[in-house]
Amino acid sequence: MKEKRGNFTGGIGFVLAAAGSAVGLGNLWRFPYLAAQYGGGIFILIYIILAVTFGFALLMTELAIGRKTQQSSITAYTQLHPRFGVLGYIAGLVPLIILPYYCVIGGWVMKYMMVFLGGAGKKAAQDSYFGNYIGQEWTPLIFFLIYLTITMLVVLGGVQKGIERVSRFLMPVLIVITIVICIYVSTIDGAGEGLKYYLLPNFSKFSIKTLCAAMGQLFFSMSLAMGIMVSYGSYVKKEVSLTKSVNQIEIFDTLIALMAGWMIIPAVYVFSGEAGLQSGGPGLMFMTLPKVFDQMPAGQVIGALFFILVFFAAVTSSVSVLEATTSMLMDKRHVSRKKACFILFGVSVVLGIPSSLGNGVWSHITILGMDFLTFFDFFTNSILMPIVALGTCILVGWVTGTKPLEEEITRNGESFPRRSLYRIMIKYVSPVFLITILVFYTLAQFGIINY
């Protein structure tokens, strides 16, 4: 049943596809609420430092592994070293757990899109609107299923090419709208203080938790440590420069996240002060932006447009992730695309239902004190992904050595500007950092230490 391994058309085609997968709810929904919660400027500073060191090294490694082995993650790791094959499986598990709750959030976006399109955006600006909405039983569940079905139909129909073309056009529009909203937000009375909170690092707010959150967010946002970029690497043509592509993906993804934070955080500061920043959590974007649109000239139209674009950004991400997991399943189990898709749909429904209901009727059921959605998010971003990243660093840094991948990276005779940084990151800094974080986070989560 082996289907031919497709190729991206040249460098820019690849960068756009990878960016389409990378830029999604991670940037627009997750980054702002984490930045708000973990101290604003200090979170941003740590995030940027991590992105250009750690994120760069890991993204480079994953793409190079994929292109070198021409395999998706499940088999790629085995090929590098038989004893590291298990990494591929853990990596493959990550998107399986993320996709369901990602679709729940995608469903929230759809609901807001409908509300604004129906001209009822004003209602959504009320304080209790979001909480009441996600606490309901049926509507969020139905929107989740619709969102998941759309994602699956795109993958089943093999029309992601079409979606990519549309999103290539929509992505710049999203950027323009985001800039417009950022500018407007900066002019609201009192936004200055909020901007300061967002941009100026306050070192007294630093904690290991900030570090953990920033690292988890980096993984999530760049689709790292989940096998996705390994699969992408296997589709990149040999003549494309990996170093350039990595830079472009990194910059693009980070800039969009920074703008999303700019659009949301100062506004939260104005509407509900520092307490609002702490307590917003996953609802931050949904609670804040309708208020901004409510005050903004032509806000209802801009709001509708905005949620449509967020919806598209989310769909391109979930489609690419479902596509990657589908082909993993096809490669490994030798099942048809259709069957693979249906299996994944089933898994997503089973895990997505508790993620949705956990905000309402099932909110009394918790795992380690977290509702289902928060738990799935924590388990992947703070446990599984650091484990995959750590294993990858040990494999590449100490078992195979970085040489084979460096050769892959420079195969067209190009230079590798951050080569020493790359080596040091993979061999020493990243493993130590990841182990520290895993140990701290686990101990803290089980209440053994307080930090």
Residues near ligand TRP, by CB under 6 A: 22, 24-27, 95, 98-99, 102, 220-221, 223, 226, 317-318, 321
> Which CB, 20 or 397, lies closer to ligand TRP?
20
Contact partners, residue 387, CB within 8 Å, separation at least 6: 90, 438
> Which CB, 223 or 241, lies closer to ligand TRP?
223
Determine if residue 413 is left, alpha or beta; phi over 0 gives left, psi from -120 to 50 gives alpha, anything else beta: left
Q: What are phi and psi of 370, to 5 degrees?
A: -115, 150
Taking the complex as a whole, the smallest distance from the CB of residue 434 to ligand TRP amounts, in Å, to 18
CA 13 from centre of chain: 20
> Which CB, 125 or 152, lies closer to ligand TRP?
152
Contact partners, residue 126, CB within 8 Å, separation at least 6: none
Q: Which residue is nearest to ligand TRP (CB)?
A: 26
Taking the complex as a whole, the smallest distance from the CB of residue 166 to ligand TRP amounts, in Å, to 17
Taking the complex as a whole, the smallest distance from the CB of residue 253 to ligand TRP amounts, in Å, to 7
Say if CB 322 and CB 151 are below 8 A apart: yes
Taking the complex as a whole, the smallest distance from the CB of residue 218 to ligand TRP amounts, in Å, to 10
> Which CB, 223 or 392, lies closer to ligand TRP?
223
Q: Which amino acid would we find at residue 429?
A: V
> Which CB, 98 or 437, lies closer to ligand TRP?
98
Q: What are phi and psi of 367, to 5 degrees?
A: -115, 125
Taking the complex as a whole, the smallest distance from the CB of residue 281 to ligand TRP amounts, in Å, to 17
> Which CB, 27 or 78, lies closer to ligand TRP?
27
Compute the distance between CA of residue 275 and CA of residue 269 in angstroms, rounded to an integer: 8
Taking the complex as a whole, the smallest distance from the CB of residue 344 to ligand TRP amounts, in Å, to 11
Taking the complex as a whole, the smallest distance from the CB of residue 68 to ligand TRP amounts, in Å, to 23
> Which CB, 71 or 223, lies closer to ligand TRP?
223
Compute the distance between CA of residue 75 and CA of residue 69 in angstroms, rounded to an integer: 9
Say if CB 141 and CB 356 are below 8 A apart: yes
Say if CB 316 and CB 106 are below 8 A apart: no
> What are the tokens at 144?
């989740």
Q: What are phi and psi of 9, to 5 degrees?
A: -80, 100
